[in-house]
Amino acid sequence: MARADRRCIGACLLATLSGCVTTYEDASPLVLPKPQPVPLALPFAIPLPQPAHGTGDPVLSELYAGILKRMREAAVDRDVAHLEFLLEGYDRRDLPEFWRDQMRGYRAIAKGLRFEQHAIAHARLSLVPAARDAAVAPPNAAPPNAATPDAATPATALPNGATATPPCGEKLLFELVLPPGGTEFLLGGHGDAEPTGFSVAVTIEDAFVDGSSRSSRTEDFLWLPAALRLAGDQQLRLPVAIEADAGGSVQRTVHLRVDLMPGYVQVDGVRAPVQRTGIAACTLTQWPRGYETLQREPLKALELALRTFDGPRFPVVYLAAALTQGEDREKAMALLIEKVRFSRAEQAQVAMAALRAISGETHPVGDRDAWLAWWQTRR
């Protein structure tokens, strides 16, 4: 099995999927909401300590053992507000050094959680318009304190407010943008002792006119090329390019997810641990070139394509049927069921695939009897 061909272009990750392993299957939709964080685990969780002899008043030790248990629970639950509340109330300068060390450890955990929450709340993935493709800078390419271009500039606007998506098989360029927050974050570069890294996972699902599907998945890792002080007007910018041969696909769904990798960041000068955390995800659908022309009169385009119904028109039949709505969709299904009943095997296969795409039914593509029986029950 061939591995996905992955290349780095400067600091920009290029996930090239044309060489990836493919499987043909009925691919269920992959939903990628912002993922739930995993429970806090070693080495970031501080175990409940056993105070050494001579650490002070046993009553104080008993009190702080209970406080540290509550802090540990708050850290595991990622309840940073409660953890900070406990630190504010019990982190005192007159504590014995043993307990001061424990407080410093949990304060570092709280700061790491603050950075994770900032990334989850403010990181954004957007599709870069073709006009800006060549101009997108690598992450953090601007000099310190220099104004960066507006990375949130939307892609080409369509009349309905949607983003112009390139056709199936053409390059997609996304950009992850993380703005600064009220706290200063220092992220390590690739050559630093504690670099900041990201996981970029891509899933591509293709549908074909014969009802088959192909699913390909890849994951790559990217480290910041240089340290970044995320403060003031300096923002994190991470370009992600995706290229994959469409191979005759009539519908492509692309799922992209970016995770912060485990490690350490500096938060207000404190070395703070972070865990693997999903910070951004998006899904988009691509269609073949010329798809937009079928949107004008899809039922008419379907009727014309079915008159000849040869190989070059198979994609038109599938896409035009998928674009119909309301009463036109009922008419489209009636036209397709006639092809299931009377056409050659390869034509009936395409008609059944189109029916499955627009009807919501799950009968196997290829089982003419099942589709004809289904249609009869609707009459």
CA angle 144, 266, 280 (to 5 degrees): 80
Least confident of 96-100, 154-158, 249-253: 154-158
Dihedral, 138, 141, 142, 148 alpha carbons, nearest 10: 20
The pLDDT of residue 19 is above 60:
no
The pLDDT of residue 8 is above 50:
no
Range from 8-22, 47-61, 341-355 that averages highest in pLDDT: 341-355
**pLDDT tens by residue, 168-196:** 989 999 999 999 988 899 999 998 999 99
The rounded distance, in Å, linking the Cα atoms of 348 and 309 is 10
**pLDDT tens by residue, 129-151:** 864 554 444 444 333 222 222 33
The rounded distance, in Å, linking the Cα atoms of 164 and 154 is 10
| pLDDT of amino acid 356 | 96
For the record, the structure tokens of 6 come out as 């992955």
Buried/exposed 202-211: b ≥16 CB within 10 Å, e otherwise: bbbbbbbbbb
Q: Which runs of E-coded beta strand occur in 25-122?
A: none
Bridge partners of 163, per DSSP, are 157
The pLDDT of residue 30 is above 90:
no
Reported confidence tier of residue 44, pLDDT bands at 50, 70, 90: very low
Least confident of 60-64, 218-222, 302-306: 60-64
Residue ranges per domain, the chain?
Answer: 5-37+122-286, 58-119, 291-378
Reported confidence tier of residue 82, pLDDT bands at 50, 70, 90: very high
Q: Taking residues 105-121, what's their average pLDDT?
A: 96
- In this predicted model, which residue has the larger pLDDT, 108 or 131? 108
Q: Taking residues 273-286, what's their average pLDDT?
A: 95
For the record, the structure tokens of 47 come out as 């175990």
| pLDDT of amino acid 49 | 53
pTM equals 0.75
